[in-house]
Chain A
Amino acid sequence: MSLAAEHSSSSDDIAASLDAVLDTASDASTDPDEVIEEEEESYVGDEGYYDSDPERPKRRKVELSKGLTNLQRSLSQGEPVDLSGGSSPKKIMCPHPGVYAGMCVKCGQKVDEETGVPFGYIHKNLRLADDEVARLRDRDLKNLLRHRKLYLVLDLDHTLLNSSQLADITVEEGYLHDKRDALPDTLKSSLFRFDWMHMMTKLRPFVHTFLKEASNLLEMYIYTMGERPYALAMAKLLDPGDIYFNSRIIAQGDCTIRHQKGLDVVLGQESAVLILDDTEAVWGKHRENLILMERYHFFASSCKHFGFNCKSLSELRSDESETDGQLATVLKVLQRVHSLFFDEGSKDNLEDRDVRQVLKTIRKEVLRDCKIVFTRVFPTNFPAEHHHLWKMAEQLGATCSTELDASVTHVVSMDAGTDKSRWAVQEKKFLVHPRWIEASNYLWQKQSEENFPVTQAKSK
C-alpha cells in the first residue's frame, strides 16, 4: 500500500509546516490557500503515521474515510494518489455548512459571503447554510420524535406576561409601587420591577405550571419582538433554572425580515412546530401553525394601547383566573394536539404527520354541526365569504350561509331588530353576538349561547 511509503515524507512535512506557520510572525493572515494545503497534508499525514496498529476502531474509520477521499481525488484527477498536489479538490468539495466568525466550521477556511441564515441568538458570529439548516432540522426532528416531543414557539408580551413602562403607571395603579410585603399574595410572586429598564412586568396567572407541563411535551423557544436584553431578562423570570429555554431565545434583532416573525431561524421542521402568539399579522407565512391567544391586559397602559376604554385588571384589583384562564385552556389544547399527533392507532409514519393537520382537525370540532347565518355584521356590498368572521367560523367547523332555512342553527347579529334576528327568535334558533364566534375560537370550545345576547340597536 502506498501509505507506508508516505510515512517518511509525512514527518518532514509536519516539521516544515510547523516552521512555516511559526515563522509567519510578520503576517498573521497568511495566504489561506498555502496554509490550508500544508495543514491538510499534515492532517492526512498524521493519520498515515499510525496505520501499524489497526485495532483502534476510530483509526480504522479514519483510514476508511481517507481511502475514500483518495479515491475521490484519483477519480477527479485521473492519476494515482499524490499528496503534495492533491489538496485543491478536497477544498472545493467542502460545502461550508456553517460560518463562525468568518471561518467555515468544517474546514476552517475564510468564507466571506453572507449566504445562509444568521443564528445570532446562539452566538453573534454564527451563520448556517440552508442545506445545513435542513439537515439539522431533519436530524433534530428524528431525535425529538423519539422522545415524543414537538416544538413550541412562545411569544412574550400579552401572551405569557404584560409589561408596562414605569412612567405609564396610572394613579389607580399606584398601589403596585408598594413594597413587596404590602402587596397582596397573588402579586408577590408575579409582579416584578426592573428599574434599569424603567418597567414593571406582571406574569400571567398559571404561567409556571404551564411551562412545567408543556416542557414535558414540547421543546420551547421564546420569540419576541422586543430587544435582546429585555428578552433575556424575561426569560430569567420565567425560567430561573435555564432549563426550558437554554439557548433558544429569539429577539427582534434575529428576525430575517423586519417586523415579521419567521420559522427560518427556528431549528425545527415546520410540520412539528406550534406557535403561541397574540398577534396574527406578524406570522405571515405560518398562520397554520399558530394558536391565537387572547391578549393579557394587566396594566392600564396596555388597555389604552389597544384602544380599550375599560378599566384594566390592575385598576380593578383582580386578575385572570388561575385554573380557568387562557393559559390553562391552551395547555389542554396542546395536550390534545400532542396525544393526537402521537396516536398509536394511526397508520402514518411519525415523520409524515403534520401538526398543522392535527390543529385543523381539532379546530373543526369546536363548532361542528352548527349552521350560521350572519346579519348586520358585514358592511353592505362586502363579499361575505371573505370576512374574517365567516372564515373563522368555517375553520371552527361550522357551515356558513347567507340564506335562512330550516337547517340553520345560529343567527349571528349585531342588532336584534333585523328581519333575520326576529326570525331566529320566532323559530327558537340561537341569536348570538359575533363575540360568541371569537370566544369559541380563543377558548377552543363552543361557548354557551346565553352569554352572548344581542341587544336592540339604538334607532337613529
Chain B
Amino acid sequence: LETIPPLPDLLPLYYRRLFPFSQYYRWLYYGGVQKNYFQNREFSFTLKDDIYVRYQSFSSQAELEKEIQKMNPYKIDIGAVYSHKPNQHNTVKSGTFHALEKELVFDIDMTDYDDVRTCCSAADICSKCWTLMTIAIRILDRALRDDFGFQHLLWVYSGRRGVHCWVCDEAARKLSVAARSAVAEYLTLVKGGEETVKKVVLTDPIHPFIRKSLDVVEKYFTDYAHEQAILGHNKSVDKVLALVPEDILFIVPMHLHIFSGDDKKQQYFQEEIMLQYCYPRLDVNVSKGVNHLLKSPFSVHPKTGRISVPIDLKELDKFDPFAVPTISLICEELDQPRTGEKESEDKKEKENENNATERRKIRDYKRTSLAKYVKYFDQFLDGIACTWKGELLKKSGML
C-alpha cells in the first residue's frame, strides 16, 4: 500500500506548479473595471497548527503567488472587497474601513440534511445521498437565473460534504445585506430546528417558484426515496408518518401510494414530504453577510485532500465527488506525463509561449486530472469577460 505524503509536503508542490494563479487572478480582477478591486479584496489563510490569519491582501498576481507559495496555507478563504487594502486596515481611521462588495454566495452542507438521510450522517457522504446536492444545484441554479436574472454562477465542490455557489454578476456583488438575506429567504422552504417536526408547510396559492422546484424534486424523488429506503425500517416509516396529517388512511409499505382526504388544509402533504426530504437547505448566515469569508475554489480540503473544483453543470448528473482529484493524486500525476492529445497540445504551447516558466506551469496542471476543471473555469471566465468588455468600453466613452 502506498503511503500518501502528508499535506505539508504536498502543498508547496501544489502552489508552485498546479494552482491556477492566472485564471484565479483573472477572476478576481474582474477586468479592472473598478479600481483596486483586487487590491482591496480580503483573503484569509489557515496555516499549520490551526493558525488563522485574516485581512490578507495583495497588490498584484505576482504578490499573491509569492505570498501563497511562502505561507503554503492549508486553506484559503475569500472575503469581501473593502474600502481600503485589508492588510492596512489598522492604519485606517476607526469606523471608515468597511466591506463594500462581494459575490453572492450559497453554502449547501450535507450535515444539514441529517434528519432525513438514512445512509450517512455528519461529515460522511456517499453516492446515495449525493443526489441531494444534485437536486439542490438544479433548483437553486434555475431560481437564481430565471427568477433573479443572474447569469454568472460558479458552482464549486467544497471538498468533503457539500457545494458552494458563487454568483459573480455585478448586480449580485453590489447587493446589500438586506437584499442578500431576502434572496436567501425567498429560496428557503425548509424551516425549523430540532424542535420542529414538520418543516415544510405549503398553502394556496402555490408560488411558481415552489412549483418549479417541485418539478425538479419529482424527477429524482422515486429513485432517491428507494435508495434511502425511507420506508424501509419502522423508525424511518415513523418519521414519514409524523409528517402525514392524522386523518389520512394508509401507506402501503415500500410504496408511497397515499389515499388523501378532502380537507383543503392538508391537500399538499405529499409535496410537503418530498420537499422536506429533498429541498435544498441553505445556511442563511453564509449568504447574508457582505464580509462573510468562504472557502476559495481550488483550495484543498485539509481532511480529505480533495481540491475544491468547479462543477460543470452540463455534466451534473455524472458528477462523482469521489472522483474529484486529491492533492496527492495530482502531485503524483505531475511526474507522469499524460498520453495522447496532451502531448500534441504541449507542443503547441511551446510555440506560443515565450516565458519558459509560464510554459512549464501551463503544461503542469494540464498533465493532471485538474486540467478539465481549470478548463471549465476558463470557460466560465470567458463568459463574464464579455460584461467587463462592455463596461470598459462604456467607461472610455466609446459606447
A binds B: no
Query: Which B residues lie at the A interface, using CB under 8 A?
Result: none
